[in-house]
Structures are given as structure tokens and as C-alpha cells.
Amino acid sequence: MQISNIRTTPLFYVFLFFSCGFLIMIFQSTVSEDNSIHEPTFGVLHVDINGSKIALYNYKPKEAPKRTVFLLHGMKFSKENWKELGTLDHLRDHGYRAIALDLPGYGKSSGIHKNFPKEKFLKEFLEFFENRAPPVIVSPSMSGEYAVPFVFAHGALLGGWVPIAPVSLSSHTKEEYAKLSLRTLALYGENDKQFRTQVEVSLGVVPGVQLTMVPGGSHPCYLDNPELWHSSLLSFLDSL
């Protein structure tokens, strides 16, 4: 059997070059998207807020997220705790975008000017990201210094608030909390003697609040019972 020779021309090589390039671009794009799902944005990201370099994790679901959840942290903690606890994976796997940050001066974030209001920092940080629906903030312990003044000044920007035995609750009166128009899931540990009463008194009067006590829980009660923490959080988010 005789096989005829195929005559190649310069135009053929040009076509082959661009075809290979196009296939490589498609392959790289697919790999990038897949990695962004399982190891979001290739690890730690940094954004600039008023001259401060803020480190964060950005976990995104495969499809368009239902809502973005911003996770703050306590004084002895960082964004790493939400990753280690599985909260970031849990939120992403249920269709939510999870952004955990190191607050200014903590973890891998640089400090911020002492005269820059904390609620203003939080507002600028949230507005840095495009949010399909009003976001939710999770604010345990020390991060209440950011979240409490923020919800009273800019609560209309949020879809919900999840305070976990936060500080700064005493900066507002019981009457002010009773007028707070924001869907709220408040958690505290049964054995958190320092903050339990303050949470019950202040946040207990927020209209429609879901007040959850973690049995046997300490101050960082979400660490004591991750299953209850995750189920409570998802149930709350799905109800918004």
C-alpha cells in the first residue's frame, strides 16, 4: 500500500502553533480553577487596607456562592484556627464563600494606625470584596472591638452577625440592643463565667436572636464542640 506524502506549508505551522497555544491556555485555566476550589487562591492572600497589609484565606465554592462569610478571630488566635477547625472547608462545601483574615497586628497582618477606627477598617475590608448578597461576619472574643461598633454604625450592610462571646458588648445599652435590626446567632460557653452573663443580658434582647449555649464550653466554645458550631452556623446561614 502506498502512502502519499502530506505537503506542509508555512501556513500549516502557523495554524499548529496557535492551536497548541490555545490548548495549553485551556489546560492551565482548568488547573487554576480546580486549585482555587481545593486550595483557594493558592494559600494566603494579602490586601491593602489604609496602608496595612492584611493576610487572609479566601475559600470559594465551585458555583457562585450563596453568600460570603467573614471570619474574625480572638486575641490568642488567627485565621489559621478556622482552617484547622475545618470551618473554611465546611462553609465552602455547603456553597458559601469563606474569608478568614488576620486582624491588624495579628498573624501575618501588619499593624494599622491607632487613630484609624476599627469599625472603619472592617467596613473598608468588607467593601474590598464583591458580595453577591449582604455578607455575614463571625466575631469571637477580642474581635468584638471591631464588630460591635460596626454593627451599630453599618449593620444595614450585613445579612447577619455571629458574635461568639465578644468583648465590647458593654459599650452599648440593653435598650440599644433591643433596637438592633440584624439577624443574629449568638454563641457562648456554659463555663465562660466572664462573658456568659453579658451575652445573655445584651444579646439576649436582640429581636429574633438565636442564643446558643455550648454545653461544657469555655470562652472559645466553638473549639469545644466543632460539630455543634458548624451545624448551628450552617442552619443560621441557610435561614437568611
219 is catalytic: yes
> Cell digits for 166?
465578644
Q: Is the CB of residue 182 less than 8 Å from the CB of residue 162?
A: no
141 is catalytic: yes
Q: Is the CB of residue 159 less than 8 Å from the CB of residue 239?
A: no
- Per-residue pLDDT tens over the stretch 40-75: 444 689 999 988 999 999 999 999 999 999 999 999
Q: Indicate the range of 11-15, 35-39, 75-79, 138-142 predicted with least confidence.
A: 35-39
pLDDT of residue 184: 98
- Per-residue pLDDT tens over the stretch 199-234: 999 999 999 999 999 999 999 999 999 999 999 999
pTM, entire model:
0.82
Beta bridge partners of 55: 46
Beta bridge partners of 50: none
Q: Which of 109, 141, 143, 202 is catalytic?
A: 141
pLDDT of residue 9: 54
170 is catalytic: no
Q: Which of 219, 224, 230, 232 is catalytic?
A: 219
d(CA 195, CA 177): 16
Q: Which of 102, 192, 224, 230 is catalytic?
A: 192
pLDDT band at 33 (very low <50, low <70, confident <90, very high): very low
